[in-house]
Amino acid sequence: MRSVVSKDGTRIAFDQSGQGPALILVSGASATRKDEASAAAALAPYFTVFAYDRRARGDSGDTPPYAVEREVEDIGALVDEAGGSAFVFGHSSGAVLALETARLLPGRITRLAVYEPPFIIDNSRPPAPADFVSHLNELVSSGRRGEAVEVFMKVAGLPAEMIAQMRQSPTWPRMEADAQSFVYDATIVADTERGDPSALKKWESTTVPTLVMDGTVFLGHPEPHEFMRHGADELARVLPNSRRLTLEGQDHGPADDVLVPALREFYLG
């Protein structure tokens, strides 16, 4: 493990592996750099891979007050560590954070790939509650960390039986410990989960070449994946320099042997 210090003084932990062009992996909700280890190992023959703990989780620190810009600065610090520019891959809410980094730090990301940013831009699924962020913050502040994680997972679309199983898993204590990070993820996606496609227009001037990906499976079942598909389609339409790719048979956590070839082809041609 190594670390960089972000602009506000927060220490950000990361693992570096492989050789080649720099590639930073931006994880989604609850994930740490350890969850990225398999993908990082599969990418390491082709890239110098930076897998990091986003702030308020894993071995990284946190410095209130929170703003999405602070996490953009965290990625900026990693880009500096990588030599001043890098490829970036963002997954789920991490995809939204990666898009914001490309918008706010133009020229630092040379190619961007995103997988299933959880946009809700129409009525294909209910929007996130208007008080989602404030409710999570209240739960965490009052010490009801497990309840905060449950609420986040419920809004994310996980069924009650799956959440109950997760509560019994070895990873649940870590998720409770990192509950503050769920507030941050909810903040990142807040304006893009309201059922309004115009929320994506802020990326109209983001010119970095971008690969927009989704899968065809939801929660292990080959059923309609409409809200993810619609959001990915709209993002690809809004971005001025995008490619669109659907990974057949993949769910919200794509297999390395499917994802890595797609990333390698996009980044390296």
Contact 4, 14 (CB under 8 A): yes
Using an 8 Å Cβ cutoff, are 115 and 90 in contact? yes
258 in any annotated domain: yes
Backbone CA torsion sign across 3, 207, 246, 258: negative
pTM of the model: 0.96
In a domain, 42, yes or no: yes
Whether residues 50 and 148 share a domain: the answer is no
* Structural domain contains residue 205: yes
- Do 9 and 137 lie in one domain? The reply is no
Question: At which residue do the structure tokens 């927009």 appear?
Answer: 212
DSSP 34: T
Per the CB < 8 A criterion, the answer to whether 227 and 124 are in contact is yes
Same domain for 116 and 166, yes or no, is no
Helices (H), the chain: 37-43, 68-82, 93-104, 132-141, 145-156, 160-167, 172-177, 179-189, 226-238, 256-268
Do residues 115 and 215 share a domain?
A: yes
Same domain, residue pair 109 and 236: yes
With respect to residue 146, please indicate whether it lies within any of the assigned structural domains. Answer: yes
- Both tokens of 160, joined, read 């009650």
Residues 76 and 170 grouped into a single domain: no
CB neighbours of residue 155 within 10 Å: 20
Last-in-domain residue among 168, 187, 206: 187
Which residue, among 79, 80, 109, 87, has the nearest Cα to 269 in the 3D structure?
A: 87
192 lies in some domain? no
Looking at the fold, whether 31 and 115 belong to one and the same domain comes out as yes
The phi-psi region of residue 2 (left if phi > 0; otherwise alpha if psi is between -120 and 50; otherwise beta) is beta
pLDDT for res 218:
76
The predicted-structure confidence for 126-166, as pLDDT tens digits, reads as follows 999 999 999 999 999 999 999 999 999 999 888 889 999 99
Cα dihedral 129, 130, 135, 137 sign? positive
Residue-range definition of the domain harbouring residue 22: 2-124+197-268
Per-residue tokens: 97:
């954070």
Q: What would the mean pLDDT of 95-123 be, rounded to a whole number?
A: 98
d(C-alpha 239, C-alpha 215), whole Å: 20
Which CATH number belongs to the domain containing residue 21 in this structure? 3.40.50.1820
Q: What is the pLDDT of residues 216-225, one digit of tens each?
A: 987 665 555 7
In a domain, 89, yes or no: yes
Structure tokens at 164: 């109950």
Distance (Å, whole) CA 235 – CA 36? 25
- 52 with 152, same domain? no
Position 60 in a domain? yes
State whether 166 and 208 are in the same domain: no
In this predicted model, which residue has the larger pLDDT, 79 or 253? 79
In-domain check, residue 51: yes
Domain shared by 106 and 218, yes or no: yes
Same domain for 58 and 118, yes or no, is: yes
| Residue 17: strand pairing partners | 49
Q: What is the pLDDT of residues 69-96, one digit of tens each?
A: 999 999 999 999 999 999 999 999 999 9
Peptide bond preceding 127 in cis form (omega within 30 of 0): no
Kindly report the three-state secondary structure assignment for every residue of 161-189: HHHHHHHCCCCHHHHHHCHHHHHHHHHHH
Query: Tell me, what's the pLDDT at 58?
Result: 95
Domain boundary among 145, 163, 187: 187
Residues 119 and 56 reside in one and the same domain:
yes
Provide the number of structural domains found in the chain: 2
